[in-house]
């Protein structure tokens, strides 16, 4: 029984499977995926579907998943042919997401059946913001990125999602007295 942590797979499903094979990942183990599971690579949604099928795979929201929710929700109800009818906010979200590699995820999403698209949307909206865990007497805080606007007196639950997914951590900063920050 082992715990593994992987981040920023970015649509490389086959590479993820290769890594899991090398570490002999099995049902007794726990895998934490720390966000950015999607975009850039060609099999983003296969990674999400893999995680959805395995109760021992715990997923945390990354900025790419966060940026995908608005555009994918729009696509669920609309067709890209109606791009002109899209409101300005959604257009801006699409453009921003496309600029960081969202096109491959859009292409993959459009090939899914409606029920699969809906399952993906539900799953994305349920991703964890962070996870606290203890392993061998050590305490860990798992987040996608650093903790923006960090304060030692602020509870993790008080941070906005955006403060946990967009900014890189300051590795010289000791965030917690008795916890390790894992990004």
**Residues 139 and 178 grouped into a single domain:** yes
Q: Has residue 14 been placed in a domain?
A: no
**Residues 138 and 176 grouped into a single domain:** yes
Residues 6 or more apart whose CB falls under 8 angstroms from that of 64 comprise: 10, 35, 36, 37, 38, 39, 97, 100, 101, 102
pLDDT at 130: 98
Q: Running along the chain, 183 residues long, what does each successive block of 10 average in pLDDT?
A: 96 98 97 98 97 98 98 92 84 95 96 98 98 96 94 94 92 89 94
pLDDT at 81: 78
pLDDT at 168: 86
H-helix segments, the chain: 13-22, 44-53, 63-77, 88-99, 103-110, 114-125, 162-165
Q: Has residue 28 been placed in a domain?
A: no
Domain span at residue 139 reads 131-182
Q: Has residue 178 been placed in a domain?
A: yes
pLDDT at 111: 96
Q: Has residue 82 been placed in a domain?
A: yes
Q: Per the structure, how many domains does the chain have?
A: 2
pLDDT at 63: 98
Q: Has residue 81 been placed in a domain?
A: yes
pLDDT at 157: 96
């Amino acid at each position: 029984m082992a715990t593994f942590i992987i981040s920023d797979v970015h649509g490389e499903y086959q590479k993820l499977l290769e890594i899991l094979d090398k570490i002999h990942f099995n049902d007794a183990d726990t895998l934490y995926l720390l966000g950015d599971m999607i975009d850039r690579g060609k099999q983003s949604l296969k990674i999400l579907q893999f995680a959805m099928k395995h109760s021992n795979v715990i997923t945390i929201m990354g900025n790419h998943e966060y940026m995908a929710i608005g555009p994918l929700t729009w696509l669920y109800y609309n067709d890209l042919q109606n791009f002109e009818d899209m409101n300005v906010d959604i257009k801006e979200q699409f453009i921003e997401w496309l600029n960081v590699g969202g096109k491959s995820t859009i292409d993959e999403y459009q090939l899914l059946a409606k029920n699969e698209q809906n399952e993906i949307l539900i799953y994305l909206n349920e991703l964890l913001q962070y996870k606290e865990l203890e392993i061998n007497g050590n305490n860990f805080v798992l987040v996608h990125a650093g903790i923006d606007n960090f304060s030692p007196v602020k509870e993790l639950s008080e941070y906005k999602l955006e403060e946990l997914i967009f900014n890189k951590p300051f590795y010289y900063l000791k965030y917690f007295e008795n916890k390790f920050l894992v990004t």
